[in-house]
């Protein structure tokens, strides 16, 4: 028994020694404070770096969370990367050349502890991001209350109602059998036929407290569901398709004829508004085309364009006294407090019109394809990557950023302040 006790003590000491070494091996991470690192990171690093994506510099999460990461080297790089480059450090020179020999800001004021805190914050945030569920790229942007859930709720209510009726019948049958076995079953008295009361069944059901409670509960659930759906879809006009003064077939123009959207909506790439084309744009083609290829008579819809312009196809002359504007009905409308710039999305981000407006090349008449809610826009912004290569907007931003880092004055003109779209939409 004594030998067993000594053996156990020796084993315990070995375990403690191993645990001590393991603790010392991880003490560098344990001593770091991720909360302090977050404050330093947001104050000094977010201009050029993000944890999960590349900005001016690389995405830091994947860079500092690998097994090969050398914290001592990273600390020296953060504090004075220029000294490492000047000393011809191979790793530093490779990074310097990889990013076009763009100099990183020197942070000589950061201590070793500050750098450790920053690394702890980046690792902690990166680990949390990796564990978080990712939204698939092709996922729908906007989801309201599920139709399946609503029907399932109705089905549960119906099944519960049937179960209650069956249980009430079973209880009454069992009560009758119990009284019969005890010879306590009282025969029902024979009464003379009373006048027929058409509301007798309703009155009888109204006295059943369980049934009344169940009906009230179902009514409350139904009313609450209806209220929820109504509030959820308030001011959401998805699917809105008003009757237009001219039935313009987008499937013919943008689909079969493959006319670019910006041929008509020319403001989409240069201003805030996509703009409705003037009828003169229509007349570029329809001055000579007044019907479909297979038609034998002129199109009534094209004739509406002629009437609006006061154009006589026989003489090919305009009578301005007969001209009148086309009263188009607006389909896509955002609240007044929402700022949306078409050029920023079409020209800068390079998005296609179908991203928001849906497959217009298949629509005989345009309707609102997307919900255009705040949630829908935010989800699109979260999953859309911005292509900065060869983009004058971001090149100018980078040039201005370099001026700021160099301590040189930056004028409003350098920030795009003299571009037409700044004042003229």
DSSP 248-302: --HIIIIIIS---HHHHSGGGGTSSS--PPPHHHHHHHHTT--S-TT-SS--HHH
Tokens 């079409």: give the residue. 346
Q: What are phi and psi of 312, to 5 degrees?
A: -105, 110
The token duo for 216 is 């009230």
- Rounded to 5°, the CA angle 240-245-249 comes to 70
- Tokens for 414, please give them: 């350098």
- The tokens of 231 are what? 């509030």
Please give the Cα distance from 170 to 250 (Å, whole number). 64
Q: What is the pLDDT of residue 325?
A: 92
Q: Which residue has tokens 């790229």?
A: 137
**DSSP assignment string, 138-184:** TS-S---S-HHHHHHHHHHHHHHHHHHHHHHHHHHHHHHHHHHHTT-
Q: Report the candidate in 291, 317, 311, 310 with the shortest Cα–Cα distance to residue 302.
A: 291
pLDDT at 169: 81
Task: Give the tens place of pLDDT for each residue, 121-163.
Answer: 888 888 887 776 654 444 444 455 567 777 787 888 888 878 8
Higher-confidence residue: 323 or 75? 323
Q: Provide the percentage of residues in the chain whose pLDDT is more than 90.
A: 23
Confidence of residue 118 (pLDDT cuts 50, 70, 90): confident
pLDDT at 90: 84
Of residues 45 and 197, more confidence is placed in 45
Q: How far apart are CA 85 and CA 99, in angstroms?
A: 13
Tokens of 197: 């009361």
Summarised one tens digit per residue, pLDDT across range 260-308 is 999 999 899 888 889 899 999 999 999 888 888 788 888 999 999 999 9
The verdict on pTM exceeding 0.75 is no
Element (H, E) at 124: helix 112-131
- The Cα–Cα gap between 402 and 406 comes to 6
The two structure tokens encoding residue 235: 């001011």
Alpha-carbon distance 138 to 143, whole Å? Answer: 13
Cα of 143 vs its chain's centroid, Å? 10
Helix or strand run (H / E) with residue 211: helix 209-232
Tell me what pLDDT residue 55 has: 58
Residues in the chain: 425
* Nearest in space to 400 (alpha carbons), one of 56, 57, 85: 56
The C-alpha atoms of residue 386 and residue 152 are separated, in whole angstroms, by 41
| Alpha carbons 228 and 150: distance in angstroms, whole number | 11
Q: Please, which residues have CB within 8 angstroms of residue 368's CB and are 6 or more apart in sequence?
A: 237, 238, 239, 240, 241, 331, 332
Strongest mean pLDDT among 89-98, 249-258, 412-421: 249-258
pLDDT in tens, 198-246: 677 777 778 888 888 888 888 898 899 889 888 888 888 999 999 999 9
Q: CA 135, CA 383: separation in Å to the nearest integer?
A: 8
Of residues 275 and 387, more confidence is placed in 275
Tokens of 33: 């404070």
Instruction: Tell me what pLDDT residue 108 has.
Output: 81
User: In a 3-state reduction of DSSP, which class is residue 311?
Assistant: strand
Cα separation, 257 vs 180, in Å, equals 86
Residue 104: band (very low, low, confident or very high) from pLDDT cuts 50, 70, 90? confident
Highest mean pLDDT: which range of 207-211, 212-216, 415-419, 421-425: 212-216
DSSP character for 378?
A: H
Higher pLDDT, 399 or 416: 399
Eight-class DSSP state of 48: T
The residue ranking higher by pLDDT, 327 or 398, is 327
Do residues 364 and 251 lie in contact, with contact meaning Cβ atoms separated by under 8 Å? Answer: yes
Mean pLDDT of 62-81: 76
């Amino acid at each position: 028994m004594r030998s067993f006790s000594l053996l156990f003590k020796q084993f315990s000491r070995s375990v403690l020694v191993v645990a001590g070494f393991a603790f010392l091996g991880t003490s560098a991470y344990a001593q770091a404070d991720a909360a302090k690192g977050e404050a330093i990171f947001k104050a000094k690093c977010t201009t050029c770096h993000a944890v999960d994506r590349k900005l001016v510099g690389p995405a830091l999460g994947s860079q500092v969370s690998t097994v090969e990461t050398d914290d001592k080297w990273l600390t020296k790089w953060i504090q004075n990367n220029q000294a490492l480059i000047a000393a011809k450090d191979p790793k530093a020179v490779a990074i310097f050349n990889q990013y076009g020999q763009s100099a990183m800001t020197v942070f000589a004021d950061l201590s070793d502890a500050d750098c450790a805190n920053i690394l702890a914050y980046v690792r902690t945030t990166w680990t949390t991001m990796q564990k978080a569920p990712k939204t698939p790229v092709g996922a729908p942007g906007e989801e309201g209350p599920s139709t399946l859930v609503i029907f399932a709720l109705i089905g549960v209510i119906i099944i519960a109602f049937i179960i209650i009726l069956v249980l009430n019948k079973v209880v009454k049958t069992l009560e009758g059998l119990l009284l019969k076995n005890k010879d306590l079953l009282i025969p029902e008295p024979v009464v003379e036929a009373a006048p027929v009361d058409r509301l007798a069944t309703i009155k009888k059901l109204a006295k059943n407290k369980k049934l009344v409670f169940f009906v009230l509960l179902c009514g409350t659930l139904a009313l609450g569901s209806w209220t929820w759906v109504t509030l959820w879809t308030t001011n959401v006009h998805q699917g809105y398709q008003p009757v237009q003064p001219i039935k313009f077939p987008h499937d013919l123009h943008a689909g079969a004829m493959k006319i670019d959207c910006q041929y008509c909506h020319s403001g989409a790439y240069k201003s805030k508004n996509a703009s409705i084309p003037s009828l003169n744009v229509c007349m570029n083609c329809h001055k000579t085309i007044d019907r479909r290829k297979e038609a034998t008579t002129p199109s009534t819809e094209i004739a509406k364009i002629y009437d609006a312009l006061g154009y006589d196809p026989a003489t090919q002359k305009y009578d301005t006294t007969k001209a009148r504007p086309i009263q188009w009905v607006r389909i896509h409308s955002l609240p007044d407090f929402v700022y949306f710039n078409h050029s920023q999305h079409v020209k800068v981000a390079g998005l296609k019109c179908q991203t928001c407006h849906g497959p217009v090349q298949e629509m005989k008449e345009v309707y609102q394809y997307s919900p255009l809610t705040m949630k829908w826009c935010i989800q699109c912004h979260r999953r859309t990557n911005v292509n900065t290569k060869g983009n004058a907007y971001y090149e100018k931003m980078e040039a201005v950023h370099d001026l700021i880092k160099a301590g040189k004055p930056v004028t409003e003109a350098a920030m795009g302040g003299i571009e037409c779209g700044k004042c003229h939409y």
